[in-house]
Amino acid sequence: MRKYHLTSFDKNNGFFEMWKKTFQRRLFCDNSYRPFTKPVRCLQSNKNLKKMSRIIVVGGLSAGPSAAAKARRENEDAEIILFEKGANISYATCGIPYALSGVIENRKKLLVVKPNLMRERFNIDVRLEEEVLDVDVHSQLVITSKGEYSYDKLVFATGARSVVPPIKNLDKTTNWSSCRSLQDYDKIIKEVIDENAEHVTVLGAGLIGVEVAENLIEAGKKVTLIEGDGQILPMWDSKFSYFAKTALEEKGIEVITSTFVKAFGAHNNQIDKVYIDDDKFISTDFVIMSVGITPNTDILLKKGAEHIDNGALIVNEKMETSLPGIYAAGDNVAIRNLQTGTHDYFPLGTHSNKGGRAAGANAAGADITFKGAYKTAIIKVFDYTLARTGLNAKGLEEAGIPFKKSLSIAGATPGYYPGQKELITEIYFHPETHEILGAEIFGEAGVDKRIDVLSTAIYAKLKVTDLSQLDLAYAPPFSPAKDPVVVAGFVTENILEDKCAQMDINELEAYMVQRDRGEYSFIDVRTAREYNRGYIPGAVNIPLHDLRDKVAEIDPDKPVILYCLKGLRGYLARLILKQNGINKIVSLPGGFKLWQMMDKKIIIPEPEMVKVRV
């Protein structure tokens, strides 16, 4: 044992009693006592005496190591112990789907931080394969599988576990797995990739389920993706999730929605059938569960910790739970939704790291905050990207927040630059204050950049009228002169100025069903050539260039619905008609392109018979 030298020892200054109590507490309360890692320093007076505190961190995946490292950066004198029930810390669970296909080359790449780095660089006592079984809140003790440990501050970063639905015959089989841990990864690699399973069924089409399905296709497997909700990626508006579904199907994934698995067919302890109805099944070789997660909070819930419905611990901006001296961070907590003001569940790595950082800092005596989040998310779907931030229509309706929306299609780069890709952007905003409330984007290039701009705009409480004033980076390889975010601002300003009233596809379909065709004018302002390649049922063709000459043919007393290919010509047509005394006009945002992307009915005119003289 290392010797401790008291350089200025005086029983009367209180140091001796403090040292004695601290030593006794750690010797007799901790069954697996380890000596201090640094010499005790005796200061000259009580005024300058700094007590060594013990911070215990429970959980070593994301938030835990972040908390431990930040605690050390804030307090060099604290004793910091990190407990992890597994054999590894800080591995990239979000990268596991991409390691299945080889995009991430191997298992080793998933190990972000090794235990020895935490020990040597940050002087943290990392205890692997030592599970925390209980916490005595009143005595400030952590009880593990190997002993009891006192603490001054506790950071509870236990994460979440995969939900395993109680499907008939599941307990009789072994060829299934979640996709959340290194153990899951090892099992899938062995039984699916190495043993060459031909078909995999993925249950759950959230972020992880879709990523797993995509990467299994890239690995050469056949995949069926089953989702109980009416759409995949339920976080998004239905049309955006439909775009993603189409992208998956184009690559060969069988997508089944509004369906719950009834039972598994089992043979020799192996799932060979997935029953989606009593007499309808899918033959498969392996099943991956991705139907949701449950916070690992049972220990603190039994102690009375405040929580939301799913068991996630409610924390404040300093990541403090309702229990004294206990902080929490990661997938086991509910942080504040900065838009609704309520506590919400955001199980994403970015929040785990920021929350862990704040929890560790404050446990070590600092004073920093993590204010919350507002549902920013992004996902790769083969060649496409889907992203969102803030609240969409569904979320706004649930929160009782009034809103309007605008949709636009614009190039991510200039039309003259090779390989132009388009972005579909929908923005939600408050009808009175015009504050930006949310946005969703779909496209093949530049989605991430634009969603981050709009996420920043939401945090700053910008108005939609501010978007056109943003000074965004411009060069042909990266953006057109009018960036899609700026275009979205222009479109929204036109809506506010009554220059561009919009009726979306769902509203148009409902309108046409509820009214006789003679009650309104439905005009396609594309060219005759475009029209003859296909048009929306009921539309008549008046090309934009001919519109001024044919204004007299349009009944000014009837509502007019306009559409073009994407939206610009429809907007110009509306201005022409309005300045000619026709005022009841709406445009179809996204035009014929969006109608096609939604697989709506299209009329293709019969080719005219051409008589040939013999």
Domain ranges of the chain: 53-163+294-373, 170-291, 383-496, 505-597
| Contact predicate 431/404, CB 8 Å | yes
Helices within 475-532 (DSSP H only): 484-496, 505-514, 528-532
CA distance 106 to 189: 10
Angle at 43 between CA 37 and CA 48, to 5 degrees: 110
Which single residue is written with the structure tokens 């089992």?
266
- Over the Cα atoms of the chain, what is R_g? 30
Q: 3-state DSSP call for residue 458?
A: helix
CA 595 to chain CA mean position, Å: 27
| H or E element, residue 340 | none
Report the topology of domain 505-597: Oxidized Rhodanese; domain 1 (3.40.250)
Q: How far apart are CA 363 and CA 357, in angstroms?
A: 10
Residue 159 in contact with residue 178, Cβ under 8 Å?
Answer: no
Q: What is the largest CA-CA distance in the chain?
A: 125
Question: In this structure, which topology does domain 170-291 adopt according to CATH?
Answer: FAD/NAD(P)-binding domain (3.50.50)
Q: How far is CA 180 from CA 160, 186, 457, in A?
A: 9, 11, 33
d(CA 325, CA 195): 49
- CA-based nearest residue to 324, from 54, 136, 60, 70: 136
Q: How far apart are CA 243 and CA 316, in angstroms?
A: 37
pTM reported for the whole predicted model: 0.89
Three-state DSSP at 141 gives strand
Hey, what are 556's tokens? 């000014």
Take residue 176 and report the two structure tokens written for it. Answer: 């299934």
The tokens for 143 are 């009880």
Class for the domain spanning 383-496 = alpha beta
Which tokens is 190 given?
């062995």
Count of residues in the chain: 614
Task: Point out which residues pair with 178 in neighbouring strands.
Answer: 289
Residue 84: φ, ψ to 5°: -135, 125
Q: Which among 48, 53, 55 is positioned nearest to 15, based on CA atoms?
A: 48
pLDDT along the chain (614 residues), means of 10: 37 43 44 40 38 91 97 97 96 96 95 94 97 98 97 98 96 97 97 94 98 98 98 97 98 98 96 95 98 98 98 98 98 98 96 98 97 98 98 96 97 96 98 98 98 98 98 97 97 93 94 94 97 96 97 95 96 96 95 96 73 36
d(CA 58, CA 159): 10
573/582 Cα distance (integer angstroms): 11
Same fold flag, 53-163+294-373 and 170-291: yes
Rounded Cα gap, residues 213 and 194, in angstroms = 17
**Which CATH code, of 3.40.50.970, 3.40.50.300, 3.40.710.10, 3.50.50.60, is assigned to 53-163+294-373?**
3.50.50.60
